[in-house]
């Protein structure tokens, strides 16, 4: 099978991933909700909604803040532009054709356009000012990750192991790079990132790859982990998290792999540490913050790889990727709670219940608050008052 998680929610599949496919039973117990004395209470500013959200499907359909607007989308094809001050809808379109839209990767704003990918193997470009569909192109494989944009190109990583570049003005294909896709992988793909004329992305065979943007030439691949173990599942190594670039170093992490620091110029490893994760990391410039595949929240020194703290009180609560909001580290969980942690210690500073539908993605920082989108498509803007 191409993807373990087909037709099931990522979180549910993660729970049953190893035991179910290996024919072994393994009890996965969600940690109880931590008791937290909140130091602040976020205040609601406005609310809205977008379609039916993403439901119980795997999704990296993140909101975007650009051009003085907030952009949101639902899996069923509704895309909206909202006023960040009052939440009023500025425009609304539905990109569904004669089949379910199945939007899944995005939203990315660039070149006065919005770029969104779908499980139908399409990339769409919408005018950011009006919502008008500028172009729609078919690509080889599902587009589960957000695209990257650079040099007037839209760079797409698909589920078939193909990285391709599209012309941002019309969607014409400029180049493609193919990498091996094992028969057994996780559901999800790495979002490409760009820097200094290069594009970097994780592959389903456990590597971090680098290519020259201008001509799509592969320049190096670095293993993030080596397959080990007696079964095919034990040997599964997949890099679904987006690489993170800080200065001259690139950081990547894989499932059943490692957290690795790589020198951008040479592609050689600076240090490696044993962490396993499928979610994107975030950094404040000095520290890396990550969520492991057991939902432990960890802070690591970016220069040395030294672990600074680890909070395991949210184990198996199916956390979102971490976000930095107003100086705090924030993660959402499958039961609809936001957990706020002190960046220096990893201790909880606040907790709030938002939606019983839970979260697929973490909050989005705004100039004067933050935005949350729950799985059922409910949108809220809040601000922190001490």
Q: Tell me if 163 sits within 8 A of 150, measured CB to CB.
A: no
The secondary structure of residue 14, as a DSSP letter, is H
Q: What is the pLDDT of residues 252-293, one digit of tens each?
A: 999 988 999 999 888 889 999 999 999 999 999 999 999 999
Whether 206 has a pLDDT exceeding 70, the answer reads yes
pLDDT interval class at 26 (50, 70, 90): low
Position 92 scores a pLDDT of: 98
The secondary structure of residue 255, as a DSSP letter, is B
Tokens of 219: 């320049």
Residues 6+ apart with CB under 8 A from 138: 121, 122
Please indicate, yes or no, whether the overall pTM of this predicted structure exceeds 0.75.
yes
pLDDT interval class at 325 (50, 70, 90): very high
Position 266 scores a pLDDT of: 81
Position 353 scores a pLDDT of: 96
Query: How many Å apart are CA 318 and CA 339, to the nearest integer?
Result: 12
Whether 36 has a pLDDT exceeding 60, the answer reads yes
Query: How many Å apart are CA 145 and CA 141, to the nearest integer?
Result: 11
Q: What is the average per-residue pLDDT within 196-207?
A: 93
Q: What is the average per-residue pLDDT within 370-385?
A: 96
Whether 22 has a pLDDT exceeding 60, the answer reads no
Q: What is the average per-residue pLDDT within 142-146?
A: 97
Alpha-carbon distances, residue 30 vs 37, 87, 287, 320, 352 (angstroms): 21, 35, 27, 15, 18
Whether 145 has a pLDDT exceeding 60, the answer reads yes
pLDDT interval class at 12 (50, 70, 90): very low
Whether 166 has a pLDDT exceeding 60, the answer reads yes
Q: What is the pLDDT of residues 121-132, one digit of tens each?
A: 999 999 999 999
Q: What is the pLDDT of residues 42-66, one digit of tens each?
A: 999 999 999 999 999 998 899 999 9
Position 2 scores a pLDDT of: 32
Q: In what order do the strands lie in the sheet with 323-325?
A: 323-325, 328-332, 337-341, 348-353
Q: What is the average per-residue pLDDT within 178-205?
A: 92
Whether 152 has a pLDDT exceeding 80, the answer reads yes
pLDDT interval class at 383 (50, 70, 90): very high
Whether 5 has a pLDDT exceeding 70, the answer reads no
Position 386 scores a pLDDT of: 63
Position 182 scores a pLDDT of: 82
3-state secondary structure of 196: coil
Q: What is the average per-residue pLDDT within 193-209?
A: 94
Average pLDDT, the chain: 91
Position 19 scores a pLDDT of: 36
Q: What is the pLDDT of residues 214-240, one digit of tens each?
A: 999 999 999 987 777 677 777 788 899
Whether 112 has a pLDDT exceeding 80, the answer reads yes
Query: How many Å apart are CA 62 and CA 361, to the nearest integer?
Result: 6
φ and ψ at 208, to 5 degrees? Answer: -105, 130
pLDDT interval class at 15 (50, 70, 90): very low
Whether 80 has a pLDDT exceeding 80, the answer reads yes
Alpha-carbon distances, residue 80 vs 157, 206, 294, 366, 371 (angstroms): 24, 36, 34, 17, 14
Alpha-carbon distances, residue 183 vs 2, 19, 159, 238, 331 (angstroms): 5, 18, 12, 12, 32
Whether 84 has a pLDDT exceeding 90, the answer reads yes
């Amino acid at each position: 099978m191409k993807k373990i998680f087909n037709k099931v929610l990522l979180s549910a599949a993660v729970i049953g991933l190893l035991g179910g496919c290996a024919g072994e039973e393994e009890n996965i117990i969600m940690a109880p909700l931590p008791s937290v004395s909140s130091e602040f209470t976020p205040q609601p500013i406005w609310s809205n909604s977008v379609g039916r959200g993403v439901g119980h499907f795997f999704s990296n359909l993140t909101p975007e803040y650009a051009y003085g607007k907030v952009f949101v989308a639902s899996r069923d094809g509704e895309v909206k532009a909202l006023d960040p001050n009052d939440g009023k809808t500025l425009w609304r379109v539905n990109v569904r054709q004669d089949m379910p839209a199945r939007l899944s990767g995005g939203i990315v704003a660039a070149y006065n356009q919005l770029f969104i990918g779908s499980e139908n193997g399409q990339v769409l470009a919408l005018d950011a000012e009006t919502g008008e569909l500028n172009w729609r192109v078919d690509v080889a494989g599902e587009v589960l990750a957000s695209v990257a944009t650079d040099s007037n190109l839209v760079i797409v990583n698909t589920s078939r192991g193909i990285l391709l570049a599209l012309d941002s003005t019309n969607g014409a294909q400029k180049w493609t790079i193919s990498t091996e896709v094992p028969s057994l992988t996780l559901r999800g793909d790495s979002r490409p990132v760009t820097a200094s004329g290069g594009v970097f992305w994780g592959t389903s065979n456990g590597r971090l790859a680098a290519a020259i943007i201008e001509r799509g030439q592969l320049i190096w691949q670095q293993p993030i982990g080596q397959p080990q173990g007696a079964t095919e599942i034990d040997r599964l190594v997949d890099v679904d998290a987006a690489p993170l670039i800080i200065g001259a170093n690139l950081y990547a992490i894989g499932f059943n792999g490692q957290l690795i620091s790589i020198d951008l110029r040479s592609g050689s490893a600076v240090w490696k540490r044993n962490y396993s994760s499928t979610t994107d990391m975030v950094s404040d410039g000095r520290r890396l913050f990550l969520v492991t595949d057991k939902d432990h929240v960890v802070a690591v020194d970016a220069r040395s790889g030294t672990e600074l703290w680890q909070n395991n009180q949210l184990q198996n609560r199916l956390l979102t990727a971490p976000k930095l909001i107003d100086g705090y580290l924030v993660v959402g969980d499958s039961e609809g709670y936001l957990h706020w942690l002190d960046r220096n210690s990893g201790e909880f500073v606040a907790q709030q219940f938002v939606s019983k539908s839970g979260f697929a993605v973490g909050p989005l920082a705004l100039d004067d608050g933050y935005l949350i989108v729950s799985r059922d498509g409910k949108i809220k803007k809040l601000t922190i008052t001490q």
